Structure 1
Amino acid sequence: MDRRKKLHIAMFPWLAYGHIMPFLEVSKFLAQKGHRISYISTPKNIGRLPKLAPHLSSNISFVELSLLHVNGLPSGAESTSELPIDKVPYLKRAYDQLRAPLTEFLKNSNVNWIIHDFAPYWLPEITAPLGINSVFFSIFNPTFLVHLGPPSVLLGDVRKWPEDFTVVPEWIDYPCNVAWKPHEMVNHQQCMDDVSDLQRLGVLVQGCQFVTARTCYEFESDEINLLSKLYQKPVVPLGLLPPSLPYSEDESADEWEAIKSWLDTKGEKSVFYIALGSEVNLSEETMRRLAFGIEKSNLPFILVVRKVPMGEGQTDKHQDIIPPGFEERVSNRGLVLRDWAPQLRILAHSSIGGFLTHCGWSSIIEALKFGRALILFSGASSDQGLNARLMHGRKVGLEIMRNEVDGSFTSDSVAATIRQVMVEPEGAAIRANAWAMRVIFGNEELSKTYLDGFTRFIEEFAPSASHSHV
């Protein structure tokens, strides 16, 4: 293809904030290169996106497709962060019903490429007849994809039971100690629809022209190479997409000033930050144990707590799961933030030394961008358990000990892990390794090089005869 020819590229992320934002980052990069982008999502998700810089807005248009009502889906919910995990299958059903309006849009808009997520397994049936090329963009890392296996495994019945996922798969051809724990598999079953996530992924991997993932060779070379073998098609890393600190003073500037002045009074790398993502919903008992562990660590901290999402029969008393008396007892060394925190700004502050995380890939990237050591507390959903093992194995964090069957843990093990990662001599190597990771995870130049390579791959892609159209 003539490199000067500008492409029309559709972006179609899954309805979760952790997917919507990386898709927007890639959209902005492609738009800067002069390509025309149609970013497709639901009205509420599009409404939540940050404002685009004026020089990009002419190349990116937002296409709003409304969800149809699905029995079981709470009214007004358009993303996973608004739902308890057992309601996510209904969101998948509503998303599947976007097939008709999306087909209509693609038929009438001369799209060359569609960059899509793991969920719309029906997409190849639309794109192939229209001669539209597709890329599966995984916001998950190749470690996770490799563990799920090739399409023959994804679409077969080799793994029938949750425990089949708790061992290292035989196709992994490099040294590996990463696998799921039994309690993580049970938890994830709750968000599966009639069409499982594995089936969705298998069909899309078979139907796309190539695969891209949020990673780089500097961190996951074995995994990228194996994934390409398993998928029998190119896997083009996109870079880690480290987010940039917001330049503009937003409406939350006052809140940040208060947090910053508190952090300014603390010693370098003395504070640990706790945030469990936008979708991890802890029971009151789990939160109580975690809170007591945080308290017992005797170290300064910032804790972000979010409200419980909509579900049947919830009263206001469920809205805050912080144990009674906790805030008063820790008020001299702890800051509790509700529902929102400027995470990137907090992690960038020199007083932060560690991050107690649910192990979502975006959160790990943000932490290692600033070299913060990880206290790993897997949210037990999708890739989080594997990420916890991976980071523990790379010695940039330490996993909190838990019962493998039910996921339970003690407040003492929370406190001990926090102290080891933050201050104890035996955590020194972890702190040093995490700090060294800035060279890869915080390297915006490196990330840009990968995005350039990805863009070139799309621009120069020569479709096979069966896909060529006049």
Structure 2
Amino acid sequence: MQPLLSMAENGDVKLNIAMLPWLAFGHLIPYLELAKLMASKGHMISFISTPRNIDRLPKIPQTLTPFITFIKINLPEVENLPKNAESTRDLPANKVKYLKMACDGLRKPMVDFLNNTSLDWIICDFATYWLGPMVAKHGRTSVDDFVKRPNWVSFESEVRPSAFHVTRIMQNLTTDDENVSDTYRLATTIRGCDAVVMRSSFAFEPDWLSLLTELYRKPVITIGLLPTKANDNNDSDDTSWLETKHWLDKREKGSVVYIAFGTETKPSQYELTQLALGLELSGLPFFWVLNDQRGLSDDEVIELPSGFEERTRGQGMVCKSWAPQFKIVSHDSVGVLLIHSGMGSLVDGLQLGKPLVLLPFTFDQGLIASYLVEKKMACMVYREDVDGSFTPESVADSLSLVMVKEDGKMYRERAKEMMSLLGDKNVQDKCLDELMCFLQSSSK
């Protein structure tokens, strides 16, 4: 069997397939026969080899010429490789090793070919060991490939990132001065592990965890959702909390929107402005933990709209320092969380039965938000799919829906239902027991 390198996922469609056989006619001829068979089914074939080899191949039937394109790539010169030697039939056995060295020099023309061709599959041979990593870099040619459900997801689901989130993820995966991408780090780490531990539970997302087990081909062990434990509620030693509590105590039960996007997510200036204007437009009381700068070396400090804090002084509070999130969310006055879909924040909210409004920005936030929306666990602020733009009205409408409107009742009820799962100590203990059992049994 020859290696198959996947470039895209397709259903019952006509495929674009490239073929790169080893430079021996015992390989070239069978590859050509396979190419003819696939072409007879209507698939488009790019048959790649050196000029002299292609010129020496048998002619194909005229009916197949629209489906098979012969791609000639020049073999680089290698010391000790005779001139015009392009296949094993041109060489004595002791010089075939130089042909393999020349074959390795086909990397550059193959990169050029991949950059200018949209493919579904490449069928390659034993000698081109370098083609796999190359294909991995060029395997997806369009944002659209990432936002459609791959065919290896065997169950029905609408969970997927938007085009905007894919674009932002790709921008954040690597930089020009970084020599190892995040995707390579993750893939290599998983490949080298004996098992994968996930912050989740099969009760929370059974289908996706089962799929991961199949894809990784190694144990996937859940450690539960790790709900936050309440502190000892000794308020006297925390001045900032006492001030916050004093502000929250003045608000009606379930009336306040709590906004926070974690320690790593900083909105763009555009996103900050739209969000602030949306909060103001909603008229709802809010407590906003705002991360406007990521460390002192961050010189792109985002700013609230001019006059925003003055206009909303009676409506909300903006905190630009660390805040005790779980204490705040636990307060009776907090009715809704507006978050980025980070696991810590969504667990804090759901374990307390507080409904969620989601505004994902980057990393895995778009996928997590899509899953929560599909399961009716949360509502997502509407953003344009391609550029991620959103309006103050979409923020205000989402908050109003989940906080007070009858149509948003399902989100409030679903949040209450989730309390039993996240607050179930037996589920968390079972996950921990299974992890320890695996570690203990595997260490013998």
Shorter-chain TM-score bucket reads 0.5 to 0.7
Is it true that 1:300 corresponds to 2:281 in the alignment? no
Aligned CA RMSD, in angstroms, stands at: 2.4
Q: Report matched runs for 1:60-99 at 5 Å.
A: none
In structure 2, the CA distance between the partners of 1:387 and 1:252, relative to structure 1 (3 Å rule), is farther
Distance 2:399 2:435 in 1: 39
Residue from 403, 418, 424 that aligns with 2:399: 418
Residue from 298, 318, 329 that aligns with 1:347: 329
Question: What is the match of residue 402 of structure 1?
Answer: 383
Is it true that 1:449 corresponds to 2:434 in the alignment? no
Q: Report matched runs for 1:281-430 at 5 Å.
A: 281-310=266-295, 314=299, 319=301, 321-379=303-361, 381-430=362-411
- Give secondary structure in 2 for the equivalent of 1:219: coil
In structure 2, the CA distance between the partners of 1:155 and 1:370, relative to structure 1 (3 Å rule), is farther
Distance 2:184 2:437 in 1: 30
Q: Which has the higher contact order (CA 8 A, sep 6+)?
A: 1
Report the AA paired with residue 243 of structure 1.
Answer: T
Partner deviation per Cα, 1:139-171 (whole Å, 9 max, x = no partner): xxxxxxxxxxxx999957543443321111111
Question: What is the match of residue 61 of structure 1?
Answer: none
Distance 2:135 2:194 in 1: 18
Residue from 186, 192, 197 that aligns with 1:207: 192
**CA contact 2:235–2:241 (8 Å) conserved in 1:** no
Q: Report matched runs for 1:215-294 at 5 Å.
A: 215-247=200-232, 249=234, 253-294=238-279
Residue from 154, 166, 177 that aligns with 1:173: 154
Report the AA paired with residue 412 of structure 2.
Answer: R
Distance 2:434 2:189 in 1: 22
**Aligned-pair distance for 1:437?**
0.4
**Aligned-pair distance for 1:338?**
1.2
Distance 1:356 1:240 in 2: 19
Distance 2:153 2:211 in 1: 8
Distance 2:228 2:209 in 1: 22
**CA contact 1:368–1:442 (8 Å) conserved in 2:** no
Distance 2:219 2:265 in 1: 33
Partner deviation per Cα, 1:157-200 (whole Å, 9 max, x = no partner): 54344332111111111221011111112212233233322222
**Aligned-pair distance for 1:433?**
0.3
Report the AA paired with residue 390 of structure 1.
Answer: Y
Structure with greater Cα Rg: 2
Report the AA paired with residue 286 of structure 2.
Answer: F
**CA contact 2:272–2:302 (8 Å) conserved in 1:** no
- Give secondary structure in 1 for the equivalent of 2:153: coil
**CA contact 1:167–1:179 (8 Å) conserved in 2:** yes
In structure 2, the CA distance between the partners of 1:455 and 1:295, relative to structure 1 (3 Å rule), is same
- Give secondary structure in 1 for the equivalent of 2:288: strand
Question: What is the match of residue 433 of structure 1?
Answer: 414
In structure 2, the CA distance between the partners of 1:258 and 1:307, relative to structure 1 (3 Å rule), is same
**Aligned-pair distance for 1:448?**
2.4
**Aligned-pair distance for 1:284?**
2.1
Partner deviation per Cα, 1:409-439 (whole Å, 9 max, x = no partner): 1101110011001011100111100111011
Question: What is the match of residue 114 of structure 2?
Answer: none
Report the AA paired with residue 407 of structure 2.
Answer: E
In structure 2, the CA distance between the partners of 1:309 and 1:231, relative to structure 1 (3 Å rule), is same
Distance 1:462 1:212 in 2: 16
**CA contact 1:376–1:400 (8 Å) conserved in 2:** yes
**CA contact 1:297–1:418 (8 Å) conserved in 2:** yes
Structure 2: unaligned runs, 5 residues or longer = 1-131
Distance 1:440 1:272 in 2: 23
Report the AA paired with residue 233 of structure 1.
Answer: K
Report the AA paired with residue 363 of structure 1.
Answer: S
- Give secondary structure in 1 for the equivalent of 2:172: coil
**CA contact 2:354–2:416 (8 Å) conserved in 1:** yes
**Aligned-pair distance for 1:295?**
0.8
Which is further off, 190-199 or 331-340? 190-199
* Aligned residue-pair number: 309
**Aligned-pair distance for 1:266?**
1.9
In structure 2, the CA distance between the partners of 1:319 and 1:183, relative to structure 1 (3 Å rule), is same
In structure 2, the CA distance between the partners of 1:246 and 1:320, relative to structure 1 (3 Å rule), is farther
Report the AA paired with residue 327 of structure 2.
Answer: R
**Aligned-pair distance for 1:404?**
1.0
Distance 1:385 1:410 in 2: 18
